[in-house]
Structure 1
Amino acid sequence: MKYRDLRDFVATPEAAGELRRVRHEIDPCLEMTEICDRTLRARGPALLFEKPKRSTIQVLANLFGTPRRVALGMGEESVEALREVGKLLAFLKEPDPPKGLKSAWKSLPIFKKILDMAPKTVTRAACQENTIKKDQVDLARFPVQTCWPGDAGPLITWGLVVTRGPLKDRQNLGINRQQIIGPNKVIMRWLSHRGADPATTLAAVTPIPDTLSEFAFAGLLRGARTEQAKCQTNDLYVPASAEIVLEGYIQPGETAPEGPFGDHTGYYNEVETFPVFTIERITHRTNPIYHSTYTGRPPDEPAMPGVAQNEVFIPLLQKQFPEIVDFYLPPEGCSYRLAVVSMKKQYPGHAKRVMMGVWSYLRQFMYTKFVIVVDDDVNARDWKDVIWALTTRVDPARDAV
């Protein structure tokens, strides 16, 4: 499925009855979170709040509230089809050496397709249709959610952060939350843009090879090159179709205490000190859509990409460990703190080898606290089956690491 931007993509779930427009006035402070949480737990639709209190800007929420909508955002019709994305990433991460001229020739279309997906720079970008300059910047005009009663204040949650180091021209794209502490100041890590198309958003949380940019990978998912635009106040590039772009800088040494905030673990996090990002300019589309979410005890919306991306991880792991049959990061484990692996055991100690390999192979698993390895006759995605195997087949003295 091809789509140009966030607005183009939103039309897909709406046509399928998977998006509801909320025309009543809803408060971004607490009320919006309650509605979104209840909707997600019922596996309900995406929500477009047309009249957020204290703002004229619409809020899009629960867009990735089901694994299938995540798959649609990655250009596939089903979650199962995401294994093809994983196979492509596995090939790009560790290409198979050609066994002959015929084999090399068959690989050429893949590399050509990747080269053809290099971002395209445009001079007229939708994200720069409107400009708010330094003295007029006021984040209060945006419907930023305060998600939980104990939160320190409004929190930007789906912010895609663009950074570039001093030694390489390549940019990095990640998702970082940003606490608003003033009209033009947030606590965060770098330049931010909101409301990118789903492929770009999901590329930011996908284990792509270091040699491939997130913008190029988003183009592969979308089936069309990512159009990017140079920012007005610096040399960074953002998706030309982004809804809202915050441009600014971090002054070395300027920090502030962040939090507490309700976290994806279901607890409030501790107050910690982080850099302060000062906003010099905001550009946005005409009638922008503010893309928002909340984090809380699983399942929450950010856990859904993790559920869908289990299918992406499997081919990546099988490339290195062919004995792996299935791999599952349950959302109840915060989508990364616990992993269940099923495998075809071939010799004593084989499970421990795979366990250590999973921990070290992808940096996404460095914070995984528990890895459970079961035989291939156990359904890794059925907790009852896993518990039965643990209690009947495990010797703690022999099998625990």
Structure 2
Amino acid sequence: MTAAPGLSLRAALAQLAGTDPAAALERPEPIAAEAVARDFADRYAGVPAVGIARSEPAVRYTRVGEEGATVLLGLYGDQSRLAAWLPGLPERTTPQTAARLLAAARAPRLRTAAPCRQLVARHEEVDLTRLPVLTATPRDAGPYLTAALVHAEDPVTGESALSAHRMLVLDRRRLTIWLVPGRQLGLLHLRALERGERLAVTVNIGVPPAAMLASALNSRFLPPGLGKLALAGALAGQPLGLAPALTQPAHALAEAEIVLEGHLDDSTAAEALDEREPGCSLPEFLGYDGRARTGLPVLTVTAVTTRRNPLYQAVIGPGREQSHILGVAGAFSVALSLPATPGLRVADLYFSPAGGGMLLLAVAVRKEHCAADGLLAPLAREVFRQHPFVKTVVFTDDDVAIRCAEDLLWAMTTRCNLAADAACFEGFPPVPMDPAQTPEWAGARHHPTVPGRVAIDATTPYALRASTARSFLRTGVPVHHGTAKG
């Protein structure tokens, strides 16, 4: 039986090829793993990888490297695909739709016959160098896994983690993994070390779209006892499948294309190969080279299991698909964190690809009385407090299609005077991946400190709302806030 597109990468790709063949491409010519990302960026990628606003096709490179492996890029290069694959994904992101999504959570089911382990290599048979792991640029520290989800469970508390991390292949059986401080996987790892134990994990590549999207939500805003995999079930409208690992006390995503089983202990290494000094890591989500780090945890792989003829999925770092995954999930995280604000109704939330899906947030609101004019600044401060990557919040009225860049700019141009309507919020730490948030940038601009966050009020004052009625917007017909193409 064919899986639903939300539950299987292969089913999602087949659905895309059937409904939009021009968006599902195949590149059959031989190509080196070191050349794939550059080829995709030049031919297909959009902002922020290159200066072109365009959707990205799903491209299968079918003869990569000496093994002739298949690499998939661009699967999430158009946000409308997520809506087609995930029946539980609401058209608008609001506190109400986010709450309904939580209520529809469906716990994963255990499967004994799992496609992810049709082929198995254990222990000394493991050789990560046989995977078509991409090196995006000549400046990179080496080959990185970029679209792999790490799944782990705490055997004491039952808590779980599901998240994407950059992982540098060190050798046949080891990878470094960058754990953002304070996130769930890092906490589970620290607890395991405190107990004198290893943390068993699976690294899942080529995962169901529902799992990929759910993985990017912030665990802090989920109710106790509700894991990301259950939320993935709500997105897919069906429970996801899990399979017991073969060499670790862990579980893998049953429909994954490739699974690495392994553990995290107290071993560490730098993001560098051949004893070189750490320099660049790889292209980051904002479109700039990242910085390699030292002292990262090392993941030791004890088994590699795959489907037959597996699809190795990756992202190039910056680009449409990573922005869409981060942005859609980030908007739900914001919706789950917003406090009740009587008199101000949130109509939609949207992270623009211009900010890599994390830095630029648009919020459409409806004011219900005059006092609502003064509620935007406190709401913005709460967003900045809860979501440290958000740099700029743009508030608009709910007759603005915030998922359309031109309409958002139209509101900023005609319902806003930036000199008066942009409020700065100090006291928030800078995001190091953003070059404009560095001390060097502040010094060159002659600022005494790194500037803080900014909220832009592009809404109509409540008392003047009749003056900004759009000429061709029909009365009583809400503006379309649905998923924009691209």
With the length of structure 2 as denominator, give the TM-score of the two structures.
0.69
CA change 1:393–1:48 in 2 (3 A) is closer
Shift of 1:236: 1.2
Picking from 279, 286, 291, the partner of 1:270 is 291
- Write the letter of the residue equivalent to 2:381: M
Q: Which moved more, 1:187-196 or 1:20-29?
A: 187-196
The 5 Å alignment of 1:275-314 reads: 275-296=297-318, 299-308=319-328, 312=332
**Alpha-carbon deviations, 1:82-130, whole Å to 9, x = none?**
338974532466xxxxxxxxxxxxxxxx6xx64xx32211222211211
Q: CA deviation at 1:214?
A: 2.0
Letter in 2 for 1:271: A
CA distance in 2, matches of 1:275, 1:183: 16
Counterpart code for 2:251: Y
1:8 deviates by 1.8
Map 1:337-376; keep pairs closer than 5 Å: 337-345=359-367, 346-347=370-371, 349-360=374-385, 363=386, 365-374=387-396
**1:325–1:376 CA contact under 8 A, matched in 2:** yes
- In the alignment, the residues of structure 2 paired with residue 83 and residue 342 of structure 1 have an alpha-carbon distance, to the nearest angstrom, of 10
Q: Give CA-to-partner distance per residue, 1:45-86, whole Å, 9 cap, x none.
A: 21111111222321111100111122233236xx8x433897
Q: For 2:332 and 2:261, locate their aligned partners in 1 and report how far apart those are by CA, in whole Å.
A: 33
Looking at structure 1, the residues matched to 122 and 260 of structure 2 have their Cα atoms a distance apart, in angstroms, of 11
Per-residue displacement from partner, 1:345-376 (whole Å, max 9, x unpaired)?
Answer: 5326322112123234xx5x222122233455
Q: CA deviation at 1:136?
A: 1.8
1:56 partnered with 2:68:
yes
**2:95 & 2:63 partners in 1: Cα distance?**
39
Instruction: Map 1:1-400 onto structure 2 (within 5 A).
Output: 2-3=4-5, 4-16=7-19, 17=21, 18-36=23-41, 38-41=43-46, 42-75=54-87, 81-83=90-92, 87-91=96-100, 114=105, 117-165=106-154, 167-188=156-177, 191-207=202-218, 209-210=222-223, 211-257=225-271, 259-273=280-294, 274-296=296-318, 299-308=319-328, 312=332, 316=336, 320-321=340-341, 322-345=344-367, 346-347=370-371, 349-360=374-385, 363=386, 365-374=387-396, 380=402, 381=405, 382-388=407-413, 392=417, 394-395=419-420, 399-400=423-424
- Measured after TM superposition, the shift of residue 43 of structure 1 is 2.2
1:103 corresponding residue in structure 2: none
Across the two proteins, how many residue pairs are aligned to each other? Answer: 372
Q: Distance in 2 between matches of 1:310 and 1:120?
A: 26
Cα separation, partners in 2 of 1:343 and 1:183, compared to 1, 3 Å: same
Q: What displacement does 1:383 show? A: 4.4
Range that drifts further, 322-331 or 240-249? 322-331
- Whole-angstrom CA distance in 2 between matches of 1:158 and 1:57: 16
Q: CA RMSD in A?
A: 3.0
| Separation (CA, whole Å) in 2 of partners of 1:49 and 1:204 | 25
Q: TM-score, normalised by structure 1?
A: 0.82
Tell me the secondary structure at the aligned position of residue 217 of structure 2: coil
Quick one: which amino acid aligns to residue 166 of structure 2?
R
Query: CA-to-partner distance for each residue in 1:266-307, whole Å, 9 max, x for gaps?
Result: 2222221211111111111121111111113xx432012245
- Farther off after superposition, 34-43 or 328-337: 34-43
Q: Partners in 1 of 2:33 and 2:347 — Cα distance? A: 44
1:57 partner letter: A
Sort the Cα spacing of 1:350 and 1:228 in 2 relative to 1 into closer, same or farther, 3 A: same
* 1:129-150 Cα shifts (integer Å, max 9, x gaps): 1111111211121111111221
Please identify, of 5-14 and 385-394, the stretch whose mean Cα deviation from structure 2 is larger.
385-394
Mapped contact 1:341–1:371 kept (Cα < 8 A): yes
Distance 1:309 1:82 in 2: 13
Q: 1:44 to 1:301 in 2, by over 3 A?
A: closer
More deviation, 179-188/247-256: 247-256
Q: d(CA) in 1 for partners of 2:56 and 2:256?
A: 26
Alpha-carbon distance change, 271 to 84 in structure 1, aligned in 2, over 3 angstroms = closer
Contact 1:59–1:291 under 8 Å retained in 2 = yes
Unaligned runs of 5+ in 2: 47-53, 180-200, 273-279, 426-486
Distance in 2 (alpha carbons) for counterparts of 1:54 and 1:293? 21
The offset of 1:213, in angstroms, is 1.9
Give the whole-Å Cα distance in 2 for the aligned partners of 1:245 and 1:220.
Answer: 23
Distance 1:314 1:183, change over 3 A: closer
